[in-house]
Amino acid sequence: MSNLVLQARALSKKFVGVQALDKVSLGIETGTIHCLAGENGSGKSTFVKTISGLYQPDEGDILLNGNVYTGLTPVQAMREGVQVIYQDLSLFPHMSLAENIALNRLRLSGAKIVDWKKIWRIAKEQTEKIGVDIDLNATAMETSMAGRQITAICRALSQDAKLLFMDEPTAALTRQEVDRLLKVVQELKNKGLSVVFISHKLDEIFRISDNITIFRDGKKIGDFASGQLDEKSLAYHMTGRDVRYPRYRRSLGDDTPLLQVKGLNKQGHYQDVSFQIRPGDILGLIGLLGSGRTEFALSLFGLNPPEEGVVVFEGETVRVASPVEANRLGIALLPEDRGSQGLFKERGIRENVTSTLLGRLASGFRALDREKEREIAEEGVKKLRIRAPGIETPVGTLSGGNAQKVVVAKWSAANPKLFIMDSPTVGIDIGSKAEIYEMVQSFARGGMAVLFITDELEELMCNCNRVLVMGNHRIIAELDENAMTQSDAERRIADLIGGSAGKEVEV
């Protein structure tokens, strides 16, 4: 017997117009952390769904604990100890964490009556197993993303997981939460579990993986021991090219501010926020999640409006009281919350990309004809390298990152004067990030003002000509154009955000 918990042999899976998996053979060793890496749409999630019995492969077979399957049902997969933590986590929002952890297990064992003591015992046992401390009484709804994630892991453990798949678990987590999650993953490995981990953040991959498998276009490019690769070679294998990010410098001569914000306050959300932004600025806003940056960004879009302060847009004092008003002024928001991005899943890329234009159309703009729509959609697909069979492909069938690109294309098509982008590249592969940066930078060169919210220092440094650092609901530092060209700029910002990162995280 081998020490492989899973062995996939020549798995293929085709969807309309796409070979999502192309004869993929892959072994996962017991008690290891195995990362899957690859560009958006390369087949990672499809692989996970095939092993968990959600998709049936067209060809190939799957060995789990030595048992051969040509196709799996979800129940069979679960019996073999396969558990998947999907991004939405599928927790019951109104139930306690304890119930969320224990209920599936009790249901599987056929229990009819809810036995609180038992629920509590099961939940406690799982949390202790991996040494985490979460408030088991709290409902999932009132728990942070990181806490919910840990709950989902405990739920998987309670169902005797042997092989745990985590598909981009860190996408919605802050830096400290990521640290904590990675520790838990390490702990799972120490307990003898196997973990398959998917992430687009290369540093995470190197921090935890024993082995790395790289996918490209549905094919396996290769298996590597983590020590055999570095970020550069991994990026190269994923994309087949050297990835370089462009560095932005503002070149417009006109310094008249587009937006001025003075003394904006909303109790408990943001305090005393003042700054200005000119056309052609890509103003970075960095700070930990919970620093107030998203709450503040929403206020500029007419959501979460301030209680005090002045907003001047194109020289006139305005009250942006709703998104409709924001849109009318020429302000667009690419929201952070991946669930609420308003994609019409059954509709095609074309309709989604041009849906912001329809809003204008209703307010008296010239009707767009099909041909024009097609042109706009095709341009978005090309510029952002959206991987799809065609522009009529329903966005619900796109890979996570490609759907995210449609959101970016959609708001870009609206061609706003001020574009607020909240974490625009979460879930986007390292190659496609370059395309998004190119696009944002070319908008700015054309005179758009961009407020660029991000967690990632690297993307802050290459895109932003000025930076605001937010902490504890206030702006704690501002780096102007001159400061940003100094060699110590990155370290200064790292120190600032690292400083507030020191304290223990609540989950």
Placement of tokens 């969807």 in the chain: 15
d(CA 274, CA 265): 10
The answer to whether residue 405 forms part of the interface with ligand ATP (CB under 6 A) is no
Q: Copy the structure tokens of residue 78.
A: 């679960």
C-beta of residue 473 within 8 angstroms of C-beta of residue 270: yes
The answer to whether residue 341 forms part of the interface with ligand ATP (CB under 6 A) is no
The answer to whether residue 52 forms part of the interface with Mg ion (CB under 5 A) is no
The answer to whether residue 86 forms part of the interface with ligand ATP (CB under 6 A) is no
The region of 75-83, 282-290, 292-300, 392-400 touching Mg ion under the rule CB under 5 A is: 392-400
Partner touching 398 among Mg ion, ligand ATP, none, CB below 5 to 8 Å by kind: ligand ATP
Edge to edge, the sheet with strand 18-29 lists 18-29, 4-15, 59-64, 67-69
Min dist. Cβ of residue 43 to Mg ion (A): 9
The answer to whether residue 46 forms part of the interface with Mg ion (CB under 5 A) is no
Placement of tokens 């085709």 in the chain: 14
d(CA 72, CA 61): 9
The residue among 38 and 292 lying less far from Mg ion, judged by its C-beta, is 38
Q: Copy the structure tokens of residue 317.
A: 């004092």
User: Which of the residues 411 through 440 are near ligand ATP (CB under 6 A)?
Assistant: 429
Partner touching 292 among ligand ATP, Mg ion, none, CB below 5 to 8 Å by kind: none
The region of 94-102, 281-289, 396-404, 455-463 touching ligand ATP under the rule CB under 6 A is: 396-404
Question: What are the angstrom distances between the C-alpha of 284 and each of 38, 173, 259, 423, 500?
Answer: 28, 19, 15, 11, 18
Min dist. Cβ of residue 175 to ligand ATP (A): 21
**Count of residues for the chain?**
507
The residue among 44 and 278 lying less far from ligand ATP, judged by its C-beta, is 44
Partner touching 188 among Mg ion, ligand ATP, none, CB below 5 to 8 Å by kind: none
Residue 88 burial class via C-beta count within 10 angstroms: exposed 0-12, middle 13-18, buried 19 and up: exposed
Interhelix angle 430-445/400-413, rounded to 10 degrees, is 10
The answer to whether residue 52 forms part of the interface with ligand ATP (CB under 6 A) is no
d(CA 341, CA 196): 28
Q: Where are the alpha helices (DSSP H) in 14-96?
A: 44-51, 74-79
Instruction: Kindly state the DSSP code that residue 434 receives in the 8-state scheme.
Output: H
The residue among 216 and 250 lying less far from Mg ion, judged by its C-beta, is 216
Of positions 147, 284, 302, 400, contacts ligand ATP by CB under 6 A: 400
Placement of tokens 């709450």 in the chain: 295
d(CA 323, CA 333): 9
The region of 25-33, 38-46, 356-364, 474-482 touching Mg ion under the rule CB under 5 A is: 38-46
Partner touching 309 among Mg ion, ligand ATP, none, CB below 5 to 8 Å by kind: none
Min dist. Cβ of residue 397 to ligand ATP (A): 3
Of positions 4, 11, 42, 45, contacts Mg ion by CB under 5 A: 45
The answer to whether residue 57 forms part of the interface with ligand ATP (CB under 6 A) is no
Placement of tokens 């990521």 in the chain: 178
Partner touching 386 among Mg ion, ligand ATP, none, CB below 5 to 8 Å by kind: none
Of positions 250, 387, 410, 433, contacts ligand ATP by CB under 6 A: 387
Query: In this structure, what is the dihedral angle of CA atoms 176, 177, 182, 185, given to the nearest 10 degrees?
Result: 150
The answer to whether residue 41 forms part of the interface with ligand ATP (CB under 6 A) is yes
Instruction: Kindly state the DSSP code that residue 53 receives in the 8-state scheme.
Output: T
Instruction: Kindly state the DSSP code that residue 287 receives in the 8-state scheme.
Output: -
The residue among 168 and 177 lying less far from Mg ion, judged by its C-beta, is 168
The answer to whether residue 174 forms part of the interface with Mg ion (CB under 5 A) is no
Query: In this chain, which residue has its C-beta nearest to Mg ion?
Result: 45
Of positions 400, 416, 424, 471, contacts Mg ion by CB under 5 A: 400
Partner touching 46 among Mg ion, ligand ATP, none, CB below 5 to 8 Å by kind: ligand ATP
User: Which of the residues 10 through 29 are near ligand ATP (CB under 6 A)?
Assistant: 15, 18, 20
265, 246, 407: which is closest to 339 by C-alpha? 407
Helix H, strand E, coil C: the string for 93-142 is: CCCEHHHHHHHHHHHHCCCCCCCHHHHHHHHHHHHHHCCCCCCCCCECCC
SS3 222: strand
d(CA 39, CA 37): 7
The residue among 285 and 408 lying less far from Mg ion, judged by its C-beta, is 408
Min dist. Cβ of residue 24 to ligand ATP (A): 11
Partner touching 271 among ligand ATP, Mg ion, none, CB below 5 to 8 Å by kind: none
Beta bridge partners of 165: 84, 196
Query: In this chain, which residue has its C-beta nearest to ligand ATP?
Result: 401
Partner touching 127 among ligand ATP, Mg ion, none, CB below 5 to 8 Å by kind: none
User: Which of the residues 232 through 251 are near ligand ATP (CB under 6 A)?
Assistant: none
Q: Copy the structure tokens of residue 377.
A: 């959609």
Question: Where do contacts with Mg ion occur on this chain (CB under 5 A)?
Answer: 45, 399-400
Question: Where do contacts with ligand ATP occur on this chain (CB under 6 A)?
Answer: 15, 18, 20, 38, 40-46, 387, 397-402, 429
